[in-house]
Amino acid sequence: MSRGRFITFEGTEGVGKSTQLATARQALEDAGKAVLVTREPGGTPMAEAIRELLLSPRDEAVNELTELLLMFAARAQHLHGSILPALEQGTWVLCDRFTDATYAYQGGGRGVPQEQIAMLEQLVQGEVRPDHVILLDAPVEVGMARARSRSAPDRFEREQAVFFQRIRECYLQRAEQQPSRYHVVDAGQPLDEVSRRVSGFIATLLA
């Protein structure tokens, strides 16, 4: 049995990751592939409990290293309890965010040194990295307007626009540095066009 593919969907708030995860899932299932759709932080009961800790608004200031360590604690449980077993069974894994988000949010957004993130990445993941990253990119003001129209904002969504601008810039820098792994999609386009682009990319992986 061949190993499944590991594809992550990245981007700032409100860029449509959930919608495009569903688009990719449908394309893969139509092609007869077994698919696991999951998310970070989260993906297992323990990791989902950590997600609640991370996203819930609170009066207490959260230290950036606390946030970083909780992210990787959830990731360790998710990776070893769900993602790797699925890949070994030949299942394609579609994940809403992974470690690239940590580089963008905790690194670009919070200012945590990239070297600290890389150290934890190696500790938790070893050589495991997503095969492909679909980066849904849109201007920060567009994404924020979409995100704030959905529901009450979580702890991250309450941040100011400059925080998300740093995140977006970090994502785009990583995409430029790793063009073979990143596939950038303009998420500011009409939904049908974004879905067409994502479906087209999935088709190239199936060819």
* CATH number (domain holding residue 182): 3.40.50.300
Residue 1 within any structural domain of the chain:
no
Position 47 scores a pLDDT of 98
The domain in which residue 197 lies consists of 6-206
The response to whether 82 counts as a known ligand-binding position is no
Position 62 scores a pLDDT of 92
The response to whether 15 counts as a known ligand-binding position is yes
Position 155 scores a pLDDT of 87
Residue 52 within any structural domain of the chain:
yes
User: Which residues have a Cβ under 8 Å from the Cβ of 186 and sit 6 or more positions away?
Assistant: 137, 138, 194, 197
User: Which residues have a Cβ under 8 Å from the Cβ of 149 and sit 6 or more positions away?
Assistant: none
Backbone region of residue 111 per phi and psi (left: phi > 0; alpha: psi in -120 to 50; beta: other values)? left
Please write the tens of the pLDDT for every residue from 16-44: 999 999 999 999 999 999 999 999 999 99
The response to whether 56 counts as a known ligand-binding position is no
User: Domain count of the chain?
Assistant: 1
H-helix or E-strand containing 144? helix 140-148
Residue 117 within any structural domain of the chain:
yes
Residue 101 within any structural domain of the chain:
yes
Position 141 scores a pLDDT of 86
Residue 58 within any structural domain of the chain:
yes
The response to whether 2 counts as a known ligand-binding position is no
Q: What CA–CA distances, in Å, run from 37 to 9, 47, 74, 95, 188?
A: 11, 15, 16, 6, 24
The response to whether 12 counts as a known ligand-binding position is yes
Q: Residue 152 pLDDT more than 80?
A: no
The response to whether 109 counts as a known ligand-binding position is no
* Cα–Cα dist 171/91, whole Å: 27
* Cα–Cα dist 155/176, whole Å: 29
Q: Is 174 in a helix, a strand, or coil?
A: helix
Question: pLDDT category, 158, cuts 50, 70, 90?
Answer: confident
* Cα–Cα dist 15/136, whole Å: 6
Q: Residue 143 pLDDT more than 80?
A: no
Confidence (pTM)? 0.94
The response to whether 143 counts as a known ligand-binding position is no
Position 24 scores a pLDDT of 98
The response to whether 13 counts as a known ligand-binding position is yes
Residue 197 within any structural domain of the chain:
yes
How would you list the strands of the sheet with 6-10, edge to edge? Answer: 35-39, 92-96, 6-10, 132-137, 182-186
